[in-house]
Structures are given as structure tokens and as C-alpha cells.
Structure 1
Amino acid sequence: MSGLAAASRLATLGHRVTVCEAGGTYGGMVGRYERDGFAFDTGPGLLTLPAVYRDLALKTGKEPLEQLVDLAPVDPESRHLFPDGTDLALPNASRGGVGQALDAAFGTGSGALWNAVVNRGRTVWEATRRPLLEEPLPADPRPLHADPYPVPPRRGLARLRPAGRWTLADVAARELGGHPGLTALLHEHALRFGFDPRTAPAGATVLPYMEQSFGVWYVRGGLRALADAVYRRCEQRRVEFRFDTRFEQVVERDGRACGIDTSAGSIEADVVISAVGAPAQDRTDPVPGRVVVLLALRGERPAGTVHRTVVHAADPAAELAGIFTWGAPLADRPTVQVLRPDDPSLHPAGHETAVLTATAPAGGVDWTEPGAADRFADRMIAHADAAGLGLADRALWRVVRTPADTERESGSPFGAVPRPALAGDRGAYLQAPTEQAPGHYRIGGAAHPGGGLARVGMSACIAANLIGPA
């Protein structure tokens, strides 16, 4: 998606753009699987910060985004099912409504605790929005390694302990009182993006702030329709596409990028923009990825079904160990996100689709081992059904996708989750020209400002602004 976004922007600025794609189609991780009249997104299923793609539509053509795709807010934003039987529905883009829902589910005062944390996430957003999301990575990125989360003043005996660096788990323990439901809610935002809440900076509170402030959106026909729309915009701007053409290396002359070598030969260029993943390295620590189960369901979507349901882990500590500790067993009942869109275009009449997703280790697990993927998928479905979703008995068929599939199709090392940049994460976010080769820019999930549909769109905008008109 970053390549499509950058191509459409640069072609609009007058450049002659050629896109080389290793696969047979466009869109990268925003893929699609079709069978027997059923259709599924194989990558992200929901959109946050649609303003990124509204800006793309505005800057590259006359039609606004809403004329290119059918965009609708998801309401309620999500339903959360907890191990103790608590059933919580959160409204979309309503901070006050979220607080009321939490009070009703967890007791009076729960909403105030949560909203205080999210308000601190707003402070993080205001401090980092421009330098971390909208501007090129500075020559000295060390200021971004500081976490702007406003740690509350310590009282009592706590003042005698060293302050140290707060993690998201510290926020849950110290500001949410360790409440298991609120903790699970906060940790799920990190886990969904491949962050370990025990090590993620407290500034990760920006994730629930963004979601609850700017809303969550669905594209009719699935998010693949968004990739279709940006691809059409590229075609209108006469971008040339070369599919089944794998990038091999950047060609340099006199210390400057002057083209690329591909599986189909060399291509000369004045500027090279690379949206490939970071090089794979030997890893001895688990790398988070995703296991996705595509379910074709018999029968109509039940009335009142929520678009997004999260069934939280039965044993959160065991789940974190299984994902982030080398050699630890995978959780029997992991956190499972279930997407069930009310979208007739995705299935035959009288049926329904469901997409189940769980964060799981990508590195350190052999997902190609016979039966490994199906065993974990069985756990995911059983956990969802134990919470009352009733999916297994209605399943016509299923397809299980693991990090091994992600790696094969997208080139992401180990099939890892492309993570968003977070202030305080001390990650190495790339935005070129690189020092070794001026004229070579990096975009996409492995570049500044990190992974996710919104951020890869931002990386394309940053690169286009750096390159400028032809």
C-alpha cells in the first residue's frame, strides 16, 4: 500500500513512475481470498485514521475518498468478552460513551480511570504527531527515544523508589489499579500490533487514544477495495506496473542510486523508492506475527452481531509467555479478534463470513510443521465458541493462514507484524535518502513511521514531499 500511495503521489507531481511488484497483484498485505462466492480480507480488516487516505485522494485527483470507496464507521467499535463472563460493548469515537460503558461493566469509577490514561495518551499524540508521523526522521532520532507519557507525580513511599521508565504494564498496574478487565483492554491494543505490554513504553497509550478519538472505519467490500481504489488512481496517473518482478538490489553510480536490478533485468531511474521489508536476520527471540482463520459460515448473520468482537485470553500471563518467551508453549485460549462484517458483497445469500485473528510468535515456531496451524486454529475457534459465538457448528470450511504465509506472500521477515513507531521504543525507523546511497528512499512498514495502513500511507507522503515535483 505504501508503494501504491507513493506512486500515485509522485505521478501526480509529474514523475514517470514504474512499480516493480514481486507478486502477481498489488496491495501487499492488503490481500484477498475468494472461494465459493465467499471473499475475505487476508490482511487488515478495519481502517483507523482515514484522514491519511482522504489526503491521498485529495492530492492525487478530483474525487474525494468517499467517492472512491464506501466508507462507514463501525458502531459499536468493539465488543469485549472477558474470562469472568463480563460482556462489554464500546461505542465508536465517543470518549464519554466509553467511560459510561466501562462504569456499567466494571463498576463506578472505572471509566474515570480509563479516561485519565487515555487523556495522557492524548498528550503523547500531541507531542509526537508531527515528528513521529508527519515529518522525516531527523538526523538525530534520539529525542524520539524519550517517552513523552506524563507519568503522574509519585506519592507516599513510592517517592523513595527510582522513577525509571514506565511500560504499558506499569500504567495498567499503577493507574488502572491492576483491574483485570481494564488491564486486558489496555494490553490488547499493544498485543494487536505485536508489542509486549511488559516492555512497550507507556507512550503506547497513544494507540487507544487514536482509536477512541478518531474512530474505526470499514470499507464496504473489504479493505481490498481501498487497494483497488488507489491502484485505479495510479492507472489514471499512468503509473507503469511490472508484476512478478522481484527487486534484487539498488544499483549505484558515483555514490548515488541510479536504478535497480530485478528478476526480469535492470531498470534505470533517477530516484529509487524501496517498500520492501527489512532484511531477515537470525533471531533468537520470538518475533510476533498473526494467525488468521477465514471461516465460511452456514446461515444468516445473527441479528445484533457486532462487527468486531475480542475474546480475551483466559490466562494473560501464559499468552504473553507463549508469544514473547523463546520455547514457551502457545496459550491454549489466546486473545482472539473476530471480524463479522455486515456486508452482503462478501458471501452468498443466506451465509456469513468471519475472520479470526490471534497474535502468535512468527520466529521460533515452525508453522509449516504438519498440523501446527490447524491445532492453533482449533484453539482459537474453541475459545471464541466458549464465549458464546457459536462458530464451529456453522463452519462450511476454513482456511488457516500463518506467519509462514505472510512471509511467503509479502517478504516480511518471518511473517512478522509490521509495528508502528512509538516514541520511547528506541527502534530503528528508516527514512532515506540513505547515507550510503543518496536518491534511495525507504517507505512501508519497515520504514519510519512504521507499520499499519495509516502509517505506511504517511511514509509515502513523507517520501513524496522530500522528492518534490519532477
Structure 2
Amino acid sequence: MARIAVIGAGMGAMAAAARLAVAGHRVAVYERTETYGGAVRRFERDGFSFDTGPGLLPVPAVHRDLFIKTGKEPLEDLVELVQVDPSSRHVFADGTAVSLPNASRAGVVTALDEALGGGAGQRWGDFLIRAREAWDRTRRPLLEEPLWPNWSVLADQEPYPAVPHKKLLRTRRASTLAEIGAWELRDERLTALLESHALAYGLHPRTAPASAAVLPYMEHAFGTWYVRGGMRELARAVYERCVARRVEFVFGAEVTRVLEKDGRAAGVELADGTMVDADHVVADVDPARLRALTDRPLDEDGDVRADPEAPRAVRFTLLLALRGPREDGAVHRTVVHAPDREAELDLLTSPGGDEPRCPTVTVLRPDDPALTPNGEHESVVVSAVLSSEAGWEEERTVRSYTDFLLGAAESAVPGLRERLLWHEARTPGDTEGETGARSGAVPAPSLAAGRGRFLHPANTTRMPGLYRVGGWSHPGGGLAHAGMSGALVAGLIVEGPQFRGSQ
């Protein structure tokens, strides 16, 4: 039985902790804040409740597997999963709107043809077939296996297939998401639909590799799900599973150093000077913070990664308390696309050079009585992913984006201004305080191609005994990916270097 110290109580960390405890190890989690869940938190006021992190659950099979592998009670016995249908409603810059059914290619094709015309549905359906090919080529090495030293294979080869071009009498391979939109979708609204999946993680369509096509494919293939009571209920269930498997949690315990002995990780030091011995250390923290906890390089020389000091994607969120019930037929998720795509993308490239512009905005309206004081009110979360360089410390920036988000939300919520009781603005600084991520950044899922700039650091490090888990490590950000990272780290510790991922 090994002693394992886990830094941080995020979703990836808890997924690893539960699996390691079931394998017979003694696991202790040290969390600098007073609660668990990382970014999966809840804000409560006046009887209203809001998710302040992820609001929907992709690929629920990841968490189903976690609960199957760590106990007798399946996930559905502990939380209520609801399939969101329609999956989303999209309001485009020209005023066109379309609702897309959940996990139905035929239904999506029909809906797009009816709303956009001109064979738009068929082009999107053909795109999904190609996106599936990219998914099939990368699923195992990118999501189900540790990131091996030969990761450059993933970096150099674009898995998104080339497409025959009748006029050119040859095939043409898109290298970026923007090229897929321009060459294959050939409709500004379809392009906006495609790019919204990347923008949700702060990925720039002009630079994100074509392999980012797997993001809309995953939503299409595995559906969109909501946890009744809010996503915090999922965090609670994972935490309680850890406790039931005798994982120890120490809250208000900030780790200030990873201890080293004989060239390997040997424990952690806490802010109060306490030294904790351990055979393995698992870190669910921002890369900048992890570097500060160690005094040696953690990756091989020549490892290709995006500049860790570059501007990051952050989420700005408004929590809206509304009087009056949710109307019949209201859609759970509405994406209101930016009125000026080029201006939005330019702002991501040089955020400090221009005045704020209206971004793509997501409006979540759960049909969930648990989130309101009674049936005569509604709880709404409105958010956008922007740049960390937008000047969030300035009140005028917060005020400008508040106005943008409220204006966009009016496309999704009838009579919004008249119904608004109060709103709460949550800035990237709030996220940084809760998660410790520099600037309150949002980690994106790992992507193949792009010379490795869209991969995250491996779960193993150059310091034996020190492992990385969660959204800032392989296979990247998002609830499903964090759960996958927990499974990978547990496998590496339990089975050792010979571990080759789930079978």
C-alpha cells in the first residue's frame, strides 16, 4: 500500500483519488480552499442557485465508468442525469435561428436544411462523417492512453481527412478549423456553428487545427446531458465516493512545495510548515503553480507546447435571477453568435488594441425547480469566453461585457429586462481565486496536429513519483477529459510504466 498525496480537489484529482483508494492505496487530498470540485462550484443567493463552472455534462460514460470501477452504486443511483433536447438553439448574426436535436444526425440535417436552406444540412452531415474519421484516428492515443514520449506522432499528422474538390480535380486538406468552414461548409452560419465549439474553450478558429472538428462530433455522438440540481451535484457525488473509499481530505491546506528525496517526489510541504511524506504525488494545479512547487524542469528538452505565459482564454459569467416562470418550450441552451465574426476573432488575437466587442454568448436556462425559490422564478447563467488581456481589473470592461451579455441573452429569454430581479457578475478573478489557475483561465481539450501546440503536458513528469492530473494535463480541459486524466494517472501508479490505457 503506497501513500499518495494529491494536490487540489478538482474533478480530475478526485477521480484519480477514488480509483487509487479502491486499489488499496492510502490517499490524502490537500486543497487550499474550503471545498472540493475545482471549477465545478455553486453560487447561492435569495433561494436561487447557479452553476459557476461547467453547466452541461459531455460523454457521461466517463463518469459512469468511474462509479462502476469504484463501488457498487452506479452514477444514476446518485445523481439524476437528464438528456438535453434540443441540444442547443443557435441564433445567428443575420437573425436566423435553429434548434438542433440531441444526438440525431438525421434530425440535425433536417433542422439545418429547413432553417438555412441551400443544402446546409447535408453539408453539415457530411462534415460530421469526416469529423468521425478524425475522432476514430485520435480517440485512443489522444484520450485513452497516456501521452507517450513519441507524442510528436500526434503533433505532426492532421487526422481530419482531405476532401475531394470537383473544380480543382484534386483533394484539399484543411489545416485549421476556419478552413473547414470556408472550404467545406460554405455558409457563414454553419461556420459560426462549427467555430462556437472551439470558441467555448478559447480556441481561435484561425489557428486551431482541423482536428478540432472532434469537438462538435463528441457532442453529436454522445449527446448533451444535465445533472438535476446543477453540476455541483456531480462534484458532490464524486467527493462522497472518495470519502466512502476512505480518501482523506484536508481543506484550507495550501501546498507550497513538492518534497524530493533521492531524485524522486517524496511528499509535500504545506503553508503552515507541515511536511507530509508520500510515495507518490499527484498534482491537479495550473502549470505555472506546479513549476513554482518544484525546482527542476518537468518535461523533456524540446517538448513542444504553447507559450505558458501567453494570453489565456477566460470565462466571464452573469448569473441572472428572474421573476416569472420559464415559459413552455424554452430551450435549455441557446448560443447567440457574435454580430461581427471578424471583429470577435480579431479581439482574440489582439485583445488590448480595441474597444470591447460583443462575443459569442451562451445562455443556459435549466428546467430545474431546485435552482429557484419557487415555481414563479427562473435561474439563468449567461457566459462568454474571452481573453485574459481584456482588462478585467477595470470596472468599465466588466460593465461593457455585462451589457453585451445581457443584450445577447434577450434573444434567448423573452422579456428579460422586465423580469430581472438582480444579476451577479463573475469575473476571471473570481475563477482564479477558486481554482488557482493563472488569470482564471479555461483549459481546452487536447487536440492532435498543430505541431503539438494544442497538446497538454503528459501525466508523468521528469521527476519520478510526480504526476499531473486534471484539465491542465493530458488529455486536457473539460469534465470528460478531467475524468479521463484521473483514470490515466491511477493506471500509471497502479500498473507502472507498462500501463497502456483502458482496453
Q: TM-score, normalised by structure 2?
A: 0.89
Partner of 1:250: 258
Partner of 2:194: 186
Q: Which amino acid aligns with 2:397?
A: A
- CA 1:388–1:233 in 2, change beyond 3 Å: closer, same or farther? closer
The 8 Å contact of residues 323 and 330 in structure 1, kept in 2 or not, is answered as no
Pick one of 202, 214, 236 that aligns with 1:228.
Answer: 236
Partner of 2:5: none
Q: Which amino acid aligns with 1:271?
A: H
Number of residue-to-residue matches in the alignment? 465
Partner of 1:151: 162
Does 1:430 pair with 2:438?
no
Does 1:344 pair with 2:369?
yes
Structure 2 Cα separation of the partners of residues 164 and 54 of structure 1: 37
Partner of 1:373: 398
The superposition leaves residues 342-387 of structure 1 with CA deviations (integer Å, 9 ceiling, x where unpaired) of 000000111000000111111x232122342132111110122256
Partner of 1:298: 323
Structure 1 residue ranges without an equivalent (≥5): none
Structure 2 Cα separation of the partners of residues 48 and 164 of structure 1: 28
The 8 Å contact of residues 351 and 387 in structure 2, kept in 1 or not, is answered as no
Does 1:361 pair with 2:361?
no
Q: Give 1:388 deviation, angstroms.
A: 6.2
Q: Give 1:393 deviation, angstroms.
A: 2.0
Partner of 1:139: 149
Structure 2 Cα separation of the partners of residues 327 and 127 of structure 1: 38
Does 1:42 pair with 2:52?
yes
Secondary structure of the residue that 1:318 maps to in structure 2?
helix
Secondary structure of the residue that 1:26 maps to in structure 2?
coil
Structure 1 Cα separation of the partners of residues 39 and 309 of structure 2: 25
Matches within 5 A, 1:35-74: 35-74=45-84
Structure 1 Cα separation of the partners of residues 241 and 355 of structure 2: 43
- CA 1:283–1:240 in 2, change beyond 3 Å: closer, same or farther? closer
Structure 2 residue ranges without an equivalent (≥5): 1-10, 292-306, 497-503
Pick one of 430, 434, 439 that aligns with 1:409.
Answer: 434
- CA 1:330–1:147 in 2, change beyond 3 Å: closer, same or farther? farther
- CA 1:55–1:450 in 2, change beyond 3 Å: closer, same or farther? same
Partner of 2:114: 104
Structure 1 Cα separation of the partners of residues 198 and 275 of structure 2: 41
Structure 2 Cα separation of the partners of residues 389 and 158 of structure 1: 50
- CA 1:72–1:336 in 2, change beyond 3 Å: closer, same or farther? same
- CA 1:311–1:60 in 2, change beyond 3 Å: closer, same or farther? same
- CA 1:324–1:105 in 2, change beyond 3 Å: closer, same or farther? same
Secondary structure of the residue that 2:348 maps to in structure 1?
helix
Partner of 1:202: 210
- CA 1:393–1:460 in 2, change beyond 3 Å: closer, same or farther? same
Structure 1 Cα separation of the partners of residues 17 and 411 of structure 2: 46
Q: Which amino acid aligns with 2:219?
A: E
Structure 2 Cα separation of the partners of residues 320 and 183 of structure 1: 13
The 8 Å contact of residues 281 and 465 in structure 2, kept in 1 or not, is answered as yes
Percent of pairs with identical residues: 52
- CA 1:119–1:328 in 2, change beyond 3 Å: closer, same or farther? farther
Structure 1 Cα separation of the partners of residues 40 and 411 of structure 2: 30
Secondary structure of the residue that 1:279 maps to in structure 2?
helix
The 8 Å contact of residues 84 and 224 in structure 2, kept in 1 or not, is answered as yes
Q: Which amino acid aligns with 2:267?
A: G
Q: Give 1:86 deviation, angstroms.
A: 1.0
The 8 Å contact of residues 319 and 382 in structure 2, kept in 1 or not, is answered as yes
The superposition leaves residues 304-342 of structure 1 with CA deviations (integer Å, 9 ceiling, x where unpaired) of 110001111100111111123242335533211000000
Q: Give 1:302 deviation, angstroms.
A: 1.2
Q: Give 1:434 deviation, angstroms.
A: 1.3
Secondary structure of the residue that 1:111 maps to in structure 2?
helix
Q: Which amino acid aligns with 1:273?
A: V
Does 1:116 pair with 2:141?
no
Does 1:462 pair with 2:488?
yes
Partner of 1:385: 410
Structure 2 Cα separation of the partners of residues 16 and 148 of structure 1: 41
- CA 1:387–1:309 in 2, change beyond 3 Å: closer, same or farther? closer
Root-mean-square deviation (CA, aligned residues, Å) is: 1.9
The 8 Å contact of residues 286 and 325 in structure 1, kept in 2 or not, is answered as no
Does 1:21 pair with 2:31?
yes
The 8 Å contact of residues 121 and 149 in structure 1, kept in 2 or not, is answered as yes
The superposition leaves residues 404-435 of structure 1 with CA deviations (integer Å, 9 ceiling, x where unpaired) of 21112111111111110011131342224312
Does 1:318 pair with 2:327?
no
Partner of 2:179: 170
- CA 1:42–1:335 in 2, change beyond 3 Å: closer, same or farther? same
Secondary structure of the residue that 2:470 maps to in structure 1?
coil
Q: Which amino acid aligns with 1:23?
A: T
Secondary structure of the residue that 1:17 maps to in structure 2?
strand
Q: Which amino acid aligns with 2:373?
A: P
- CA 1:343–1:384 in 2, change beyond 3 Å: closer, same or farther? same
Q: TM-score, normalised by structure 1?
A: 0.95
Partner of 1:91: 101
Secondary structure of the residue that 2:410 maps to in structure 1?
helix
Structure 1 Cα separation of the partners of residues 37 and 309 of structure 2: 31
Structure 2 Cα separation of the partners of residues 406 and 439 of structure 1: 29
Pick one of 270, 278, 293 that aligns with 1:269.
Answer: 278
Structure 2 Cα separation of the partners of residues 304 and 165 of structure 1: 38
Secondary structure of the residue that 1:380 maps to in structure 2?
helix
Q: Which amino acid aligns with 1:150?
A: P
Q: Which amino acid aligns with 2:213?
A: T
Partner of 1:215: 223
Structure 2 Cα separation of the partners of residues 242 and 371 of structure 1: 39
Structure 1 Cα separation of the partners of residues 444 and 309 of structure 2: 19
Q: Give 1:28 deviation, angstroms.
A: 0.2
Structure 1 Cα separation of the partners of residues 57 and 420 of structure 2: 27
Does 1:80 pair with 2:90?
yes
